[in-house]
Structure 1
């Protein structure tokens, strides 16, 4: 696991965008894993800028979403498929048909998870997965005590998660879905490169536990310590509890430019 500490959240964007750019240059038909939420927005903005100003193309690429609400209508503005289109994919030349999410409207929700994992495998697997770490160490909707070997599956949203997400539903908790389909930790671990973003002092304990603590379902993101190519990019506040922060800064500063992340 490589840990990169930047001063501000916006400083992470060019680092992660460079990894995406290098991947697409070497493999135009790359498969990207996309997270929604506020954490990756600076990365998406930088990729959009490079597409518009520097000719970065996603025309041959494919993308898979981390999760999706269950039961939201196909045209609902808070469906994650709609959110990622607003935030990123609708601003680049990625074919809308090549952006896939779990089927939150499936008649057989039990089968929808395995079908999604099968679709990822059929596409050749995810080359680069963008992730955001939660304050409790969750990845996607894999909350604390999720199985570290879990696959894409139906999950019940916790009351805290629904309360936090009510702001996207005009503050009406009753309109927030109670279930989602989410990639499991085992599914995420199959990505070739996992890039985890974490910003702000509220994330400091989760970053410390998941990077330097024991591997435990208590802190789901800690499973990435076993990933063969995981990169954690955090700002100074999120890194404030890391015991080896000076080491991470030194090793990254001495890294050859050609090596990338």
Structure 2
């Protein structure tokens, strides 16, 4: 696990962009695992600017997203489908048919997403980190052997995400469909970004704590190639 600490969010986003661009340039038909939320916005902004200014192409890239809420329409302003189109895909030359996001509320929907990924090898999986240590929507207690599944969101996660829903937790969906930890671990490389003091405990548990389902991200200790990019606030409780 390679840990890089930058001064602030902007510098962390730029560092993450360098890692992502290297994959895309070296392999123009790479498979990218993508994430949503506020964490990757800076990275996505850099990707769009680079595409426009330097012509870095995504026309042969394939993407698979980590997760999606259950019970809201794909075109809802806060769906991850809408988020990805607004904050990344609309600014790149990636064909719509190369983009994949999980959707649905049944085991069959989860199995179908796993099957869609069968013929692909994810070259780089982008992750954020929940304040409770979740990656994707794999909440504490999730088995490390889990593949794509439906999860009930913990109250802390729903409180953290209420800011996207007019600060009203009652508007935040109670369930999500998410790649499981076993699915995430199949990626060739993992790129995790965490910024802000509210992530410091989760960062410490992920990197220095025991490998335990109480911190789902600690599963990454077993991955062969992980780059963790932090700002100083998120790294503030690390002792090593």
Bin for the TM-score computed over the shorter chain: over 0.9
Q: Match of 1:118, SS?
A: helix
Q: Any conservation in 1 of the 2:75–2:81 contact (CA below 8 Å)?
A: no
Q: Give a deviation string over 1:29-59, Cα, whole Å, max 9, x none.
A: 1111111001111111111110011111111
Q: Match of 1:202, SS?
A: helix
Tell me the CA shift for residue 70 of structure 1.
1.4
Q: Match of 1:4, SS?
A: strand
Q: Which residue of 1 aligns with 2:205?
A: 209
Count how many residue pairs are aligned between Structure 1 and Structure 2.
240
Q: TM-score, normalised by structure 1?
A: 0.87
Tell me the CA shift for residue 71 of structure 1.
2.1
Q: In structure 1, which of residues 110, 113, 123 is the aligned counterpart of residue 110 of structure 2?
A: 113
**Structural mapping, 1:24-35, within 5 Å:** 24-35=24-35
CA distance in 2, matches of 1:30, 1:118: 19
CA distance in 2, matches of 1:186, 1:210: 16
Q: Give a deviation string over 1:148-188, Cα, whole Å, max 9, x none.
A: 11110011122333333333333444433221100111110
Q: Which residue of 1 aligns with 2:86?
A: 86
Structure 1: gaps of 5 or more residues: 245-261
Q: Which residue of 2 aligns with 1:180?
A: 176
For the pair 1:58 / 2:54, whether they are aligned, the reply is no
Superposition CA RMSD, Å: 1.4
Larger Rg: 1
Q: Relative to structure 1, is the Cα distance of residues 171 and 18 closer, same or farther in structure 2, using a 3 angstrom cutoff?
A: closer
CA distance in 2, matches of 1:164, 1:242: 23
CA distance in 2, matches of 1:95, 1:189: 26
Tell me the CA shift for residue 83 of structure 1.
0.6
Q: Which residue of 1 aligns with 2:126?
A: 130
Q: Which residue of 1 aligns with 2:160?
A: 164
Q: Match of 2:3, SS?
A: strand
**Structural mapping, 1:1-261, within 5 Å:** 1-104=1-104, 109-122=106-119, 124-244=120-240
Structure 2: gaps of 5 or more residues: none
CA distance in 1, matches of 2:44, 2:183: 23
Q: Match of 1:165, SS?
A: helix
Q: Match of 1:44, SS?
A: helix
